[in-house]
Amino acid sequence: MKKLIVILLMFVMLFSLVGCSDDDETGGGTAQKEEMKITNINQLRLQTATPPPTIEKSLERENLRERLIRFNDENKVSYIYLLSDMGSVITFFPIKGKVSSVNSMLTTTEQIVTGGYSDNRWGVAIASPDLDGSYGSNGDAIFFFTTEGVYCEWNGRYFLCDRPLKLTTAPLLIYDTE
């Protein structure tokens, strides 16, 4: 009896969806389409009236390139200052390499799973497990290695530079190298 009810409900749902479309007799979707046309016409007019400039050199790209070259060096020594929410220096470390996000991954974070049948194929993104087999976020933090190889993780504000700074106040914590 339960199987019969389930089968009947499936047929009712299937037939109720057959008549659905974006452009049914009530005009569904036409208002949005008209607004999209108006927006597109306006944008074309604005692009003609005020075209974007052609630039020969991108300083943004130069900065990104220099940052990548500078910090993608395993022997690079930098200085990280870990800050309180009020901006006081809690501690600082000389670091070797670069600062990384705990959410950086070596493999993709999503996989596409396909399904459907014949002409009606679809894909859905699902979360990928990490290499250790676990799922989920690692929180919102950075990690780095000191020049002595000590792993450090921090979930607060920080300041990074490639030259040591002269502090006017003592940090709250002092790094002990012994």
- The answer, yes or no, to whether residue 152 has pLDDT greater than 60, is yes
Nearest to 137 by CA among 176, 103, 174: 103
- The answer to whether the beta carbons of residues 103 and 138 sit under 8 Å apart is yes
pLDDT band at 16 (very low <50, low <70, confident <90, very high): low
Q: Is the pTM of this model over 0.75?
A: no
- The answer to whether the beta carbons of residues 144 and 93 sit under 8 Å apart is yes
Instruction: Read off the pLDDT of residues 22-69 as tens digits, 9 standing for 90 and up.
Output: 444 445 578 999 999 999 999 999 999 999 999 999 999 999 999 999
Instruction: Read off the pLDDT of residues 85-125 as tens digits, 9 standing for 90 and up.
Output: 999 999 999 999 999 999 888 888 888 888 877 677 788 88
Give residue 155's identity as a one-letter amino acid code.
Answer: N
